Amino acid sequence: MSGPTYTSPTDPPFSPETLAALESKGLEVRGLSEANLPKAVELETASYPEDEAASPENMRFRRANAGDFFLEATLKTAGEGGGGGGGDAGELVGFVCGTCSQGEELSHESMHLHDPSGQTLCIHSVVVAENFRRRGYATEMLKAYVESVALTQPGVRRVCLIAKAGLLGMYASCGFTLEGLSPVVHGKDPWFEMRIDLDSSEPRLLRFVQVDAFSGRKFCGNPAAVFFTQAGGDADWMQKVAVEMNISETCFLELQPATPDEASSMGPTYALRWFTPGGEVDLCGHATLAAAFALWEEGRVGPGLPIRFSTASGVLTCRRDAEGWVAMDFPSEVVGDALPEDDEGRTAIVQALGLASVGGGGGGGEGGGVLFVGRNRCDVMVEVTPDAFSTLAPDMRMLAAIESRGFIVTCNGQQPKKAGEEGIGTAGDTDGGSVDFQSRFFAPRMGIDEDPVTGSAHCCLAPYWGSKLGRRCMVGYQASPRGGTVRATVGLKSEGDGRVVLEGKAVSVFRGLFRR
């Protein structure tokens, strides 16, 4: 068999042979669209007896929580139908949907929910609209479905279904083998269990999206790669992928099990882990924004639903407003007391940032323009004057020798340079005009000399500047060469005083497949 072909961002990858078979039928197979969900519900109701058809609530649950396993077949062009009769371009011909469970045998309980880490995929529905039946559509649609799972879902080891006696031959022609009478009781007729074992040694193709976060423009903000799997928690693999991607952050998502009631009322929950080329981190704001944006943009989460992320820093919640701003609820990071001016560690930090020679040798706004040096739980934070900020000359080798995840350098919102001068972005490049503070972030120990925009740093910057300015709502600009804008709100009563809400925009730059 020839290698798989990826024909468009929303299509699953198929082999040339499968694409040719679908083409001969005039079909296009892809993830079920939000627009076609009501029609799919109608087809489900019309295709099965009342005691066998999935409810509209269950259909919505399957698409929202097992969208990778819910594919539709539509007509490519008007009048096509590969066997007689035509239809409208884009018309829904049919669909296949399933959910995952643990264990090798199907049961009523395992078929009721979706376990994203399950190795057994249970197909619930193989449906073709009545006016398109008996043309071979179901066979080609199901073959394409199984191939897509085999190519893109490394955690799935087997595909199972239950069928009535009259359909055993059709499923056998698609590669399924008969296991025997099923213990599952579903309606009044007996069912037979069938399965296909997938070759776990075959390489899989994993979808990913690269997103520019904290900017509404491509090639600005901070890029992050978003993978929709954690490969069973394989940290070594995730780290190797992050090194291969070679950008500041690569994040990995895994949908968590939920009941239909939980999914509809609270939104989905995803496990989220972040990796830099240098290692895993406990918190990353821009990659969280990228992950949420990718889930909405790819149609994996409904546009109006919040998303909860289970992370090493606790549960983080994201919401998106009508203007495209994504709000993220984070724990605040409070900076400690100022380090004494005669502290050796402080001196090393100031020298490593290239500040000691600016304006003399003292502190407190005199030598080096340094106004404050302190530490939070993760990073060093340094406030400087706008003039000192505009002339930063960090020595990455010296910074890497200092024990700290990273170094935050900040000044008030005054704009000391014109936009683009010396290649450093300024507040004049922001989406929202004037800003309350500016910052830069350096993390050579994590393999990142300068981070373009750092959400986690704003968990410290927001309460720091909020206290200094006497404000709860602020706009910050990270003045890296790419630049990016972060809106921040601290101390919301509804969120608790220990929380910070960060907001930013994002844009998808490209999508692709990663071979595993």
Q: Which residues are catalytically annotated? A: 249
Residue length, the chain?
Answer: 516
Task: Answer for the pair 248, 224: CB distance below 8 angstroms, yes or no.
Answer: yes
What is the secondary structure of 166-204 as a DSSP string? Answer: GGHHHHHHTT-EEEEE-S---SSS--EEEEEE--TTS--
Question: What amino acid is encoded at 40 in this protein?
Answer: A
Task: Answer for the pair 319, 327: CB distance below 8 angstroms, yes or no.
Answer: yes
Measure the CA–CA gap between 498 and 511, rounded to whole angstroms. Answer: 36
**Bridge partners, 503 (sequence order):** 327, 487
HSE toward the beta carbon, residue 411, CA cutoff 13 A: 20
Measure the CA–CA gap between 276 and 444, rounded to whole angstroms. Answer: 11
| Tokens (6 digits) for 442 | 């350096």
SS3 state at 320 = strand
CB neighbours of 233 closer than 8 A, spacing ≥ 6? none
Residue with tokens 């627009």: 35
Measure the CA–CA gap between 89 and 39, rounded to whole angstroms. Answer: 15
SS3 state at 457 = helix
| Tokens (6 digits) for 93 | 């011909």
Measure the CA–CA gap between 455 and 222, rounded to whole angstroms. Answer: 10
Residue with tokens 């139908």: 81
Backbone φ and ψ for 107, nearest 5 degrees, come out as -145, 165
CB neighbours of 124 closer than 8 A, spacing ≥ 6? 54, 62, 97, 98, 99, 111, 161
Question: What amino acid is encoded at 349 in this protein?
Answer: I
Task: Answer for the pair 327, 321: CB distance below 8 angstroms, yes or no.
Answer: yes
HSE toward the beta carbon, residue 370, CA cutoff 13 A: 30
Answer left, alpha or beta for residue 364, where phi above 0 means left and psi between -120 and 50 means alpha. Answer: left
